[in-house]
Structure formats: structure tokens, C-alpha cells
Amino acid sequence: MASKGIRDRVAIVGMGCTKFGEHWDKGAEDLLVDAAYQACESAGLTPDDIDAYWLGTMGSGISGLTLSEPLKIQYKPVTRVENMCATGSEALRQACYAVACGAFDVAMAIGVEKLKDSGFSGLVVTNPPNDGTPAAMTPPALFSLLAPAYFKKYGLDPDKGKDVLSRIAWKNHRNGARNPKAQFQKEVPIETIKNSPKIADPLGIMDCSGVSDGSAAAIVVRAEDAHKYCKNPIFIKALSFVAGPAEGPLSPEYDFTSFPEVVASARDAYAQAGISNAREQISLAEVHDCFTPTELVLYEDLGFSPRGTAWQDVIDGFFDLEGRLPVNPDGGLKSFGHPIGASGLRMMYEMWLQLRGEAGQRQVSNPKLGLTHNLGGQPGRCVSFVSVVGNSMG
């Protein structure tokens, strides 16, 4: 593996996250300033103490000015990054490398998305001028391709498969109900999820993540400096980001029951972090549950469940808050909401709380290592990010 990693060389010393949801009274600038100040305050810093910024947004602004203008940043580098739904994680990764290499002492990664101003339902993406041939599929339809393929491959009757998917949404809502910053803070009965109006069969509206506004931010420093800013920092064990060759729509060998990009980024991240058995060693995970079949397939791609068995783990409650490996304890994209550019940093925000014992009524007992997984694109054609973080060095 070519990537060498920066295990234990960078620490997160402050984080902030706005409530996610329908912020009719706030623009991207309000959300950014709010998240940036929260992060600074949690590290005992002011924006003047930050040496460089990485701003992730898919479509709520262009260039570093999107951040420097509202925050009144005093002539410092602000880099705007975009990597589809993994944009927030990409901002974090760049900020970590910047401090690890010594170019800066203190960097901020911040992500934002303001989705509710578009006037349309669901996510709207503007394509460059084209020849009119790319399939105009909506994100739920693209991810729904996983469901019949997975059910057929592992002999799951579609009704049973639908139960499994519904249980994933049920779990994430149950977790989100314990999170004051989540978009939907309500448990939802499994029957309501199962019978929700169809969006892309077999997916109903309740299999889809929340369309949301929000922002989240992290402040990173070199690990040796971490205790100058913070009593209990969290440490970066692994950062992996891969873009695939988009083979899925081209090659009959791809069977729509896996994200090869996720498999590759997980393998890379586990090598960086020295993890040999993710199912046993990871204490908790935030994964990219844009739609329920995504989360199902991710369990297997991340090595949490052997191939073809994730559905059984779902039924057994393995990934529940009280289960052996809680996944999306903060409610996930499903219940916390999915403001694209902010989501990767929102996942890290949950690690920040959980690994420091600050997650309140959803606190996982005694976590050591947490994983975040963030992807952008579609099955067979995507980018994938995996991080591993821990609350101690070594």
C-alpha cells in the first residue's frame, strides 16, 4: 500500500457543529460562523489563532471567500475543497496533512451546506454542459440498485430484505432521538418506516437521509502540541481517501453488492492504524448511511460483518447503540441530516464527543477507537473516505 499514513501525528483539539435541519432563518454564512466559533471556543482559541483553513462545500459557495468573508479572516490561506458527499472529510484530511508536514501549526477544517434554499425536493446537482446521454437518475434510485442485487445474491426474500433495511432506519432514528443536534429527534416505529411512500423501490422516503442545512468544524494541531490546547484531544490514527475508476457502470464483473472504493479505503486505513480485525477492534463507527441499503453493504465492505451476513447482524442488533459495535450512534445521515459538505465533519464531531465521554444519553461505554466513513457518488462509481481516531496515543 502506497499510503504511509500519519498515525498519531495529528490531533483534533476543538470541534463545533450546528444543529442540522431546516434553517429557514440562516444562510451558509450564519452556519459557518456559528460552527467556526464553536470549534474555536472548544479549543480556547479565536479565529486569529488559526493559521490556515480548509472549507468543504459542494455547492453553497465557491472559493475561500465563502468562509473568509463572513468570518473576516485576516489574509490567511482558505482552500475550498469538493469531493461530492465526502467533501467534509476531504477538508479534514487536507488540514491534517498541512499541520503534519509542519507548514502550519493550527488548521481548521470546516464544512457547510445550505440545501433547503433550492426550492426542490431532494439533492440537486448541476452538471457541466454535456451531450445529454448521462443517465438522469436521482440519488435514491442510484443507491436502490444495491437492494435487489444484494437480496438476490444472498437469497433474501424481498420482504425480509425490506425488514432489514427498515431496521437500519429504525436504529438510526432511535439514536437520533437521543441527539439534541439531530434534524429528526424522534423514534419512528418500524412499521411506519416500512410503509413510508415509495421513492425508489424498495426504498421509501424513510430509507433516505434527511435533506438538511448545517455546518461542522474541527481544529487540528500536531499531536505533540495537542495538550497545549486541550485536556483530552482525539488522535488521528488513519486517513484514507480513494477515487475509483468508475468500473461499476462499465464492467459486468461488478455485482452491486459492494463498494470496491470502500473496501480499498478501509484496507488502507486499517493498515495505517494497525487494525487487523475491525469487527473486534473498532468501538463505534459513523458510516455513510445516505440510504439504508448503503449502510447494509458498508457493514461488509468495512469488515464489520463477513460477506452475506450483515443482514443477520442487523436483525441481531449488533450495530444498535447497546450492541457490540454501535454504528451511527448520533443518528447518522438518516436522522442527523445530510448537509453534504458538513457531513464528514459531523461524523468526526460524534467521535469527538464519544471518545471524550461527552455523548450524554447515547454515550457508548468506554470507547477506544472510532471509525468514520464518508462516500460520494454512486455504487460502482464513487469516492470513499475512511478515518480511524482514538482517545490515546499508541
Positions in the binding site for another protein (CB under 8 A): 119-122, 124, 127, 129-133, 135-138, 140-142, 144-146, 148-149, 152, 198-201, 245, 247, 249-252, 254-256
CB of 255 to another protein, least distance (A): 7
CA torsion sign for 180, 181, 184, 190 is negative
CB of 205 to another protein, least distance (A): 10
Determine if residue 286 is left, alpha or beta; phi over 0 gives left, psi from -120 to 50 gives alpha, anything else beta: beta
Q: How far apart are CA 354 and CA 389, in angstroms?
A: 11
Tell me whether residue 1 or residue 250 sits nearer to another protein (CB atom).
250
Tell me whether residue 252 or residue 394 sits nearer to another protein (CB atom).
252
Do the Cβ atoms of 168 and 289 come closer than 8 Å? yes
Set of cell numbers at residue 8: 498519531
Q: How far apart are CA 22 and CA 13, in angstroms?
A: 29
Q: How far apart are CA 143 and CA 377, in angstroms?
A: 9
Do the Cβ atoms of 137 and 120 come closer than 8 Å? no
Tell me whether residue 198 or residue 228 sits nearer to another protein (CB atom).
198
CB of 379 to another protein, least distance (A): 9
Tell me whether residue 164 or residue 239 sits nearer to another protein (CB atom).
164
CB of 252 to another protein, least distance (A): 4
CA distances from 304 to 301, 357, 380 (A): 8, 23, 20
CB of 200 to another protein, least distance (A): 5
CA distances from 39 to 13, 53, 75, 159 (A): 9, 13, 20, 45
Q: How far apart are CA 375 and CA 259, in angstroms?
A: 10
Question: Which of 224, 3, 221, 243 is closest to 96 using CA atoms?
Answer: 221
Query: In terms of DSSP H, where are the helices of 235-386?
Result: 260-273, 278-281, 292-301, 310-316, 332-336, 340-355
Terminal C-alpha separation, the chain: 21
Set of cell numbers at residue 141: 434510485
Q: Which of 40, 338, 373, 382 is catalytic?
A: 338
Tell me whether residue 58 or residue 199 sits nearer to another protein (CB atom).
199
Is 227 part of the annotated catalytic residue set?
Answer: no
Do the Cβ atoms of 341 and 105 come closer than 8 Å? no
Q: Which of 17, 40, 85, 290 is catalytic?
A: 85
Tell me whether residue 150 or residue 349 sits nearer to another protein (CB atom).
150
Tell me whether residue 307 or residue 368 sits nearer to another protein (CB atom).
307
Tell me whether residue 65 or residue 205 sits nearer to another protein (CB atom).
205
Do the Cβ atoms of 152 and 299 come closer than 8 Å? no
Q: How far apart are CA 319 and CA 232, in angstroms?
A: 26
Is 23 part of the annotated catalytic residue set?
Answer: no
CB of 340 to another protein, least distance (A): 16
CB of 152 to another protein, least distance (A): 6
Q: How far apart are CA 336 and CA 330, in angstroms?
A: 7
Annotated catalytic sites, by residue?
85, 338
